[in-house]
Structure 1
């Protein structure tokens, strides 16, 4: 009987594709992921379908489009429940873990993404074992003593109140951290290495490894940021200004992002260096996982994937951090690199979407996908059976929608019966970017091309009308 392949998926939150050497970056150090990519298939034009954290993983796990089916289900105690797509997995939603479990796979899930293990999540469904590493971001993990941390070191203004501030919460969570091995990405990857060692006899297996880095707080060991910005002596802005301005002006009002106008040029350079340091830190510890895969001899019988849920903004459009209404390439494109034991390698430039991942992985494992899955098998592009899968790609985030093809990116405020009001900002007039002339997507030419607007509106109406 032919040996069945194992599957390892590594997802790193908020990892910009263009901060990888294999995606053309020439100044970020990502040696481990670049070596991995050299022997793998790189999907150069992969885009997230639903943003941010929970909607993106819902799409990954189910292989289904989320927009415009998503809805708003507010939960007590969840400050993000007002966003569409953040509700728990529905009973009828079938996940890749459940499918593989039903097909004889031992399934494991290791993550520090605390949103995934809120009581409202249910994302551990279908996993035989799961390990949630506590303390990331504003995870309510440690409550005191509060006077042992100093959020004012990281903010221009800070006033301690009765309710624990999100940054204060993070600092409490990590206050006993002393060495690099105690950083979250290191803990996640070390747990993944141990899981592989413990389950080497449980073949076939599926392991989903999900680390929150390089999502903010951008808090790498100082030496990592100093690689890219040595000698800085100012405030380390590891979170955005949205965390400190009680009644922010309009340019700061769309949490969690902020304007570069809030910072000096030196501070903006440092923020980019903090993010770059996070990226290099993640690369190092993903490299440790690759070493374990090598040590256990798993490359010849295991599909290995590296991807992310979305990117972020680092000065583009004058903004820092992701923004619901700025669905431009640095935020919506994701890295997607896949190794198979057959050794296929090269670059695919056709459009693919995040909901194509699960059907593709099931096809590689010779496991039948569910008929209701929206996603398509990307490996047909690799094997030459198809030249393209999508004429355009879409990305939705709160009440904003991007429709992107080779020539244009159209960003529009939408409403549906499930999302009847504007969520995540204010109503904005349509924006249209001509990508050949404006690859940075800086100049809105909507007024110059009404016929393109009409075409994009028809596409939008068709997408919404199919649900």
Structure 2
């Protein structure tokens, strides 16, 4: 595995002795950690009793923990566009699918040129800006995720990244892989064939390199640490797998064949869940190393930390594995969202506001006393720390390709974006969403689609013709 980046840390962006820029009221550093595909129900701080996430749990005790957080849109690129800009990606109007990409999902496109990124705004305020990620979709310059960063380091080799030739793949690993998904593992197997120690896995690389940059950074700084794990494939070192499973001698379900889970036996499904859980624990361990570095540098006392995930991953709970667009149950939609204030405000408390990915940028700017160039779609959640209230959200809506989702305190609804294929769950009595009530409560489903989804979207939702390559 390797990395590609730009810029070296050196002299301060703002010369020493200069006063604060006129629009900045704080010398607070900012760290945003994005953990891809991390399910809320697989973190101890969110109630999981058996998966080991001691570092997330410890940080949660020092943070305001949002219990009802959701991405404003899925999947990877859509969620990150919102995080980096403060603007909603959904409802995917005027979408133009990028040419030559292997993902076709509504809203999956570069950050628009006219939208300022958080890094650009903070760089203009004298912040040193740094970005470390192994999330391969952000590597293309045309996607604009590097904009505003003095340093951006892209760690190569995840999933389908064409990093190494196929003929260098690890043949023993391919032999151990479940036959149904061997094709999906070929590129990844080649990319990771040279591993020799745990430090060569991706989460360790991301957090180690981020720790190195911390030691060289000039304050104030803004850092985004974007870790693609626990996104599939799930092949952590064996010591992590042994925490959750043993005595397995079948083909390894390192990655799912997205859709119905009926191709898996119960034993194979148990193994898949163990591999995912093991990957979560590995990512948590190396997050802990990063947090230890922050502590060694005495950064906790003057650094705002936000940790969140972009979405979850289905592991057979509704007879589905992967991230199909129609599978908008909690295992896919419910995300981790922690906000740690350097002065300890909100520490150990919870909040049920419908926090989301597009709230990250306005929250950071609000905390720092910086006005954005134009009003953002998201809310400043930092006001909650001082017993204030962001703009009321009595419901929340989101989009994933041609499906939509909405919830309020009583119901969760999702359907195609024209209202067909509707599902409705009364989460007051059915929090795991097992009993679809759309047929016997059609008036509720209609209300949620019309009053929540369509009103939030500003009218009927767009539909795009699927190209032949993706049919």
Equivalence for 1:26: 49
Query: Are the counterparts in 2 of residues 75 and 120 from structure 1 also a CA contact under 8 Å?
Result: no
**Alignment correspondent of 2:429:** 437
1:205 to 191, 196, 221: 221
Q: Which residue of 1 aligns with 2:241?
A: 225
Q: Which runs of structure 2 are paired with 1:119-134 in the superposition (5 Å)?
A: 119-134=141-156
Cα offset, 1:74, TM superposition? 3.0
Cα distance in 2 between the residues matched to 1:233 and 1:413: 40
CA contact (8 A) 1:72 1:83 kept: no
- The change in CA–CA distance for 1:280 and 1:57 in structure 2 (over 3 A counts) is same
- Change in Cα spacing, 1:291 to 1:269, as seen in structure 2 (3 Å) is same
Q: Which residue does 1:461 correspond to in 2?
A: 454
Contact map agreement 1:408 1:433 (CA 8 A) in 2: yes
Are the structure 2 counterparts of residues 86 and 158 from structure 1 closer, same or farther at C-alpha, using a change threshold of 3 Å?
A: closer
For residues 195-230 of structure 1, what are the alpha-carbon distances to aligned partners after superposition, in whole Å with 9 as ceiling and x for unaligned?
00011xx11100000010000001111221110112
**Aligned Cα RMSD in Å?**
1.8
Q: How many angstroms does 1:445 deviate by? A: 0.7
Q: What are the within-5 Å matches in structure 2 for residues 48-447 of structure 1?
A: 48-80=71-103, 82-146=104-168, 148-149=170-171, 151-157=174-180, 165-199=183-217, 202-241=218-257, 257-344=258-345, 345=347, 346-386=349-389, 389-414=392-417, 428-447=420-439
Displacement of 1:372: 2.9
Deviation at 1:183, TM superposition (A): 0.3
The question of whether the paired residues in 2 share the 8 Å contact of 1:307 and 1:336 is answered with yes
* Residue aligned with 2:179, SS: coil
Q: Which moved more, 1:64-73 or 1:29-38?
A: 64-73
SS in 1 for 2:41: helix
Instruction: Write the distance in 1 (CA, Å) between the matches of 2:343 and 2:392.
Output: 22
Range moving further from structure 2, 451-460 or 231-240? 451-460
CA distance in 2, matches of 1:215, 1:71: 29
Contact 1:218/1:238 (CA < 8 Å) preserved in 2? yes
Q: How many pairs were matched up?
A: 433
| Greater alpha carbon shift after TM alignment, 171-180 vs 309-318 | 309-318
Which stretch of structure 1 is more off in the superposition, 291-300 or 362-371? 362-371
Q: Using the alignment, how far apart are the partners of 2:298 and 2:457 within structure 1?
A: 47
Could you tell me whether the CA contact under 8 Å between 1:112 and 1:210 is conserved in 2?
yes
TM-score, reference length from structure 2:
0.88
User: Which moves more between the two structures, 442-451 or 205-214?
Assistant: 442-451
Give unmatched runs, 5+ long, in structure 2: 1-18, 20-24, 461-471
Query: How far is the alpha carbon of 1:146 from its aligned partner?
Result: 4.3
The Cα offsets for residues 401-458 of structure 1, whole Å up to 9 and x where unpaired, read as 001111111102115xxxxxxxxxxx95211111112111122111211221231122
Cα displacement (A) at 1:176: 0.5
State the Cα deviation string for residues 176-196 of structure 1 (Å, max 9, x = none). Answer: 001101100000001000000
Cα distance, 1:116 vs structure 2: 0.6
Q: Runs (4+) of structure 1 moved beyond 3 Å?
A: 69-72
